Amino acid sequence: MDNVQVLAMLRIETPDEPERVIPVAESPFNIGRSKANQLQLPHDRVSRHHARLLFEGDQIRLVDLKSSNGTQVGKTKLTPNDPYTLSYHETFSIGPYVLRLEATPEVAAQETAEPVAGITVGVEEMPVLAVAQEVGSGTPGLPEAPPADLAQPSDDDLFGLPANRSRYLQYLPPIYRDDPFLGRFLLAFEGVLLPVEQVVDNFDLYLDPRTVPPLFLDQLASWLALTLDEKWPIGKRRAVVAEAAALYRRRGTRWSLSRILEIYTGVVPKIIEPEDQAHHFDVVLRIPKGQHVDRPTVERIIETNKPAHTTYTLKIQPAGN
């Protein structure tokens, strides 16, 4: 790692996550939802292969790779496959993410150390990785938010539909691309087909219990022969589908019953098998104060997952007893 040349630092901001800064150490530097990219941005408005950064001498090029929702620099949406010359501290948006390239500490040090009006300013040297760690930890004095004029994109951009010019013009011969009427006319077709494009482009998200839309979760569960209880919170239903394979492999065992009860209640149950009662077990749930557990639901879970020949006793007690 000591010999890796860091080309720039990339600051990434998104509304519901803490800001982070990563080093850019290779060119091209690909950005998208797929794990094959150098930077993975897991969101349904990010295409699998969304954009690319190219470092060519002193110039930095940003290229949109025909993404579904586009790449935006400020308020300008980039033309697919048309390189845009990007400057340091210039903000660009990919889905809900706001990204900004910053010069490496060495470059910044050189700029700061240049004489200004006959005054020489000294700059203390600091390793690149140490600076990256300090920036990521929120060092005081560093900018914490993008400029006000580079705020979140408009509602039209959020859904990927242009305001007055269809993206489909790029697939027509050049003579038609400057026709304003045709650009607006094709928007009607793009508005109908865009949801289909987004489903196809993001179909991998439909196969992951953590990211599948709630309306499709029951369909995904049915492929695993699971029937989800609609009374369960959505997060717990996702957890059951995600762990279905492990639960199936050990179904009928103490571990499987304990795990599915833990998913629903949030506490690890105590399962006791009395020596004087064959084929019988006790389930003890100690519920923290202020937390409610539906007893009929717990009983249905036990009935569905216990061995058919066994009986049980359920005890639900406040924690601490």
Q: Is the pLDDT of residue 155 over 60?
A: no
With a CB cutoff of 8 Å and minimum separation 6, the contacts of 275 are: none
Handedness of CA 198, 201, 203, 205 (dihedral sign): negative
pLDDT tens-digit series, residues 202-226: 788 888 888 888 888 999 999 988 8
pLDDT tens-digit series, residues 177-199: 888 888 888 888 888 888 788 77
Separation between Cα atoms, residue 44 and residue 56, nearest integer Å: 31
**Strands of the 29-32 sheet, one edge to the other:** 39-40, 29-32, 51-56, 59-64, 84-86
| Confidence tier at 72 by pLDDT (50, 70, 90) | very high
Strand partners, 235: none
Contact assessment for residue 166 and residue 186, using Cβ atoms and an 8 Å cutoff: yes
